[in-house]
Amino acid sequence: MVELLLLVGVLVSVFVGYNIGGSTTGPAFGPAVGAGAVSKSTAAALMTTFFFVGAWTIGRRVVDTLGSDLVTSAGVFTLETSIGVLFFIGLALFVGNVFGVPASTSMTAVGAIAGLAVANGALDWEVMGGIVIWWVVAPVLGFWVSLIIGRYFYTRLDRLLAMDESDGTVFELDREGTIPTVSVHDDASSREAIGVVSVVLIGCLMAFSSGTSNIANAIAPLVGAGALEMNPAIAVGGLAVGIGSFTIARRTLETMGSDITDLPLTAAIVVASVSAALVVFLSFIGIPASFVVIATMSIVGLGWGRATRPISVSAAVRGETDETPPVSVHALAADGDGEPVPPIGEEDPADIPTPGELFDPATTARVVIMQNVVPLISTIGAYLTFRFAPFF
């Protein structure tokens, strides 16, 4: 009977890891994919690699503490309750992935564990309160920092980086020699190559950060219950995340990379930098980072800031007073013409996009709603099950 329960527990853990790969690959590499820096397959490979590195190095610490920090009694974790917690985590994440919305694995996992703890009267409310406060503050910080950058600094950053986007690939691989070599494509500039490398490296940093915190969401209950040893559990969880990254994550990559907003390279670097900085900070102070929400709000903030740049009366009368025709995001990203950057408020109205051209409000609303619904599913489901089910 114990062996059967253990097998069920491992399968549920794999299911959770699969959905973690699906929900976290989008926030980490969605900007890079949306900017055309890497393909979806390359993003999945990078996500799998750096997630595992983060899980194997720092992630084991989170596994050791997740089962004890939120609960006042470690005895609430048994093999049966661990399976129940993992089931609700996986189910909630699967709902988000089906809708193509990358839900927060940290919020979902903490919610399921909190539901178990409340049902048994063992939740540490002080620890839970501190986590929730940072979950509110961090996305707001990401939104406003990105909005300010988009509103006041984006144009100058874009000119400084001067990353014109070429139509083809940025790098080309030469396999003729004994050792394959990589070079910048003839149609791509060196600045564009630097930009591509930068946004991919930031994505790798986010994948590493995800591994340090999210591996615990897939295996901590089983490890805490003594059902699995640490190293085999990390290996199983990392493999499951990789499978999710190569399969179901394709939908969340589209949502984070193109459905919300069509990101040029400069915008992708801004979003990834702001999100990664906040995630690293939260990890440093021991808060399970909800970087899925931070990345989403950073994208929305940057798009909103770009769409609401101030226009002076003198700038308005220089151009058409009627409504200007739409301007594509990629056209706005192109520069390198040597023209000076106009002062803020002095741009031509035709050079400033509308909010709908930078991000899709309907998709944004769907993402925000689902990112709140998914953790509620795991929290309420776990509480009701562990509070009233007779077999727990």
Residue length of the chain:
392
Residues 124-151 have a mean pLDDT of 90
pLDDT of 53 reads: 94
Tens digit of each residue's pLDDT (9 = 90 or more) over 149-179: 988 888 888 777 655 555 556 666 666 766 7
The DSSP element (H or E) to which 211 belongs, if any, is helix 190-224
CA angle at residue 213 from 366 to 144, to 5 degrees? 50
d(CA 346, CA 311): 6
* Residue linked to tokens 């990345």: 295
pLDDT of residue 335: 37
Q: How far apart are CA 50 and CA 47, in angstroms?
A: 6
Tens digit of each residue's pLDDT (9 = 90 or more) over 182-236: 666 656 666 667 767 777 888 898 899 888 878 888 888 888 777 888 899 999 9
Confidence of residue 367 (pLDDT cuts 50, 70, 90): low
Q: How far, in Å, CA of 206 to CA of 82, rounded? A: 27
Q: Tell whether the model's pLDDT for residue 364 goes beyond 90.
A: no
Looking at the structure of the chain, the number of domains it has is: 1
Q: How far is CA 356 from CA 37, 189, 300, in A?
A: 24, 30, 11
pLDDT in tens, 377-389: 888 888 888 888 7
**pTM of this prediction?**
0.70
Domain span including residue 114: 2-388
**Following CA atoms 139, 46, 24, 300 in sequence, which dihedral angle do they give, to the nearest 10 degrees?**
40
User: How far is the C-alpha of 200 from the C-alpha of 135, rounded, in Å?
Assistant: 26
Residues 1, 240: Cα–Cα separation, whole Å: 25
Structure token digits, residue 78: 């048994």
User: Is 232 or 338 the better-scoring residue by pLDDT?
Assistant: 232
Q: Is 131 exposed, middle or buried (0-12, 13-18, 19+ CB in 10 A)?
A: buried
